[in-house]
């Protein structure tokens, strides 16, 4: 059996840039939300950036590089059970891209981010700040969205962010699995027969087009509120 390994492209450049930009934007959202006041102007713009990135990741999860596609890393319940059982036996199961628990965290993060931004678009603090789409929904929905955005969604987002960082550190220092470097340079040392992710000039140009289209969609969405 051939055990030859080589550097295999797992994370394409658009996915890596998405990950970095999203992380910085979420941290910025949390900080500006806590500061309030004039910082809320930046808070709204960061919200639009995050919504654009979430839309992009959804599209890229269908058309992106091989290991960026949802179908190639989202696990079945059975795989999650097998993976958790292996961890309990103190084994060290390896994954090519996201491990099963990591894949679930990706889904959770995208869902919570989408809900957080959506609720922000129709939130109103009844003082000076209101989302651009509050005029399109009833007062009851505005009240519900405001409460969720400030009391529930923010807490869930901070929790997932802390959990994400803690998981990376856990795998690095306790499982001897470096999850950071592959997300920076895109490659992992894997069997030479591993299917690589497409990461060509053409695919990167396509990703840029998708990003621009998503940004325009967010712009048009925000404009609906006049």
Question: What is residue 3's predicted lDDT score, i.e. its pLDDT?
Answer: 66
Tens-of-pLDDT digits for all 226 residues of the chain? 456 889 999 999 999 999 999 999 999 999 999 998 899 999 999 999 999 999 999 999 999 999 999 999 988 899 999 998 988 888 878 889 998 998 999 999 999 999 999 999 999 987 778 999 999 999 999 999 999 999 999 999 999 999 999 999 988 888 888 889 999 999 999 998 999 999 999 999 999 999 999 999 999 999 998 7
* pTM as predicted: 0.93
Closest CA to 49 of 218, 226, 163, 190: 218
Residue 154 CA to residue 225 CA, distance in Å, equals 24
Residue 150 CA to residue 107 CA, distance in Å, equals 22
- Architecture of the domain spanning 5-223: Up-down Bundle (1.20)
Task: List the domain boundaries for the chain.
Answer: 5-223
């Amino acid at each position: 059996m051939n055990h030859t390994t080589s550097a295999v492209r797992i994370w394409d450049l658009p996915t890596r840039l998405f990950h970095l930009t999203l992380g910085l934007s979420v941290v910025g959202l949390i900080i500006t939300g806590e500061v309030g006041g004039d910082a809320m102007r930046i808070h709204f713009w960061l919200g639009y950036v995050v919504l654009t990135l979430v839309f992009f990741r959804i599209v890229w999860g269908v058309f992106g590089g091989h290991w960026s596609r949802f179908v190639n890393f989202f696990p079945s319940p059975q795989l999650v059970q097998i993976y958790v059982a292996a961890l309990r036996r103190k084994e060290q199961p390896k994954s090519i891209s996201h491990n099963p628990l990591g894949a679930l965290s990706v889904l959770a993060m995208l869902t919570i981010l989408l809900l957080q931004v959506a609720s922000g678009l129709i939130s109103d603090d009844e003082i000076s700040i209101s989302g651009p789409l509050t005029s399109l929904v009833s007062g009851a929905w505005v009240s519900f969205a405001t409460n969720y955005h400030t009391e529930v969604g923010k807490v869930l987002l901070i929790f997932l962010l802390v959990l994400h960082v803690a998981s990376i550190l856990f795998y690095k220092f306790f499982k001897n699995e470096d999850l950071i470097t592959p997300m920076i340079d895109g490659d992992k040392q894997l069997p030479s027969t591993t299917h690589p992710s497409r990461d060509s000039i053409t695919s990167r140009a396509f990703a840029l087009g998708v990003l621009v289209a998503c940004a325009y969609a967010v712009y048009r969405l925000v404009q609906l509120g006049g």
